[in-house]
């Protein structure tokens, strides 16, 4: 059974919530806890905005890498081998 803790002003918290907050903010001054919370909110916003940019960059990088397919590479090697009169082992 989840026991509720009642604080001054009528605020009710479950024991689990109180323990979580105590482990996170225990020993901090209220001003320090507010600063930490503001930093966490700002960090989550930054991650969200950078996340979309990073996904777009990753997609562009994958497309750039796929510009030359294995089949096109194979054809290019065959073409160069014919022009330079070498076999495939000499190319490596």
pLDDT at 1 over 50: no
Average pLDDT of the residues of the chain: 77
Residue 15 near residue 2, CB atoms below 8 Å? yes
Q: What is the mean pLDDT of residues 11-16?
A: 79
Query: In which residue are the tokens 């990753």 written?
Result: 58
Q: What is the mean pLDDT of residues 14-20?
A: 82
Can you give the pTM of this predicted structure? 0.38
Q: How far apart are CA 53 and CA 91, in angstroms?
A: 39
């Amino acid at each position: 059974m989840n026991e509720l803790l009642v604080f001054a002003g009528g605020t009710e918290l479950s024991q689990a919530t109180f323990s979580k907050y105590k482990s996170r903010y225990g020993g901090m001054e209220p001003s320090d806890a507010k600063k930490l919370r503001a930093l966490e909110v700002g960090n989550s916003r930054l991650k969200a905005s950078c996340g979309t940019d990073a996904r777009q960059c990753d997609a562009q990088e994958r497309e750039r890498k796929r510009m030359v397919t294995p089949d096109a590479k194979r054809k290019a090697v065959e073409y160069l081998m014919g022009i330079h009169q070498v076999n495939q082992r000499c190319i490596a």
